[in-house]
Amino acid sequence: MGRNPARRRQPAAGPARLAVAGRHRANRQQIINLNWVESIEPWFSNTLKIRLRGGPEVEVSRQQSGRFRELLSL
């Protein structure tokens, strides 16, 4: 009952591929294109709120907020 190698995922490789592509995981449901970021605001509980060009707002989770700050040197 072996596992299918095509289904294996490498979680450590995921964020690296996103960063190279100019994208960042904001939370479990959303990935944002960094080229579309219009503004970044501090939000509740050490999180961030990002406004994208065109109006949508995305809340960045606490865990991803730390990574996002490191990425952009905030």
Q: What is the pLDDT along the chain (74 residues), one digit of tens a residue?
A: 554 334 444 555 566 666 557 888 888 899 888 888 899 999 888 899 999 998 889 999 998 888 888 887 76
Give the SS3 label for residue 50. strand
Give the pLDDT score at 8: 46
Give the pLDDT score at 49: 93
Give the pLDDT score at 27: 87
Sheet order of strands, 48-52 included = 37-42, 48-52, 57-60
Left, alpha or beta for 69 (phi > 0: left; psi -120 to 50: alpha)? Answer: alpha
> CA 48 to CA 45: how far, in whole Å?
9
How do strand 31-33 and strand 23-25 relate by DSSP bridges?
antiparallel
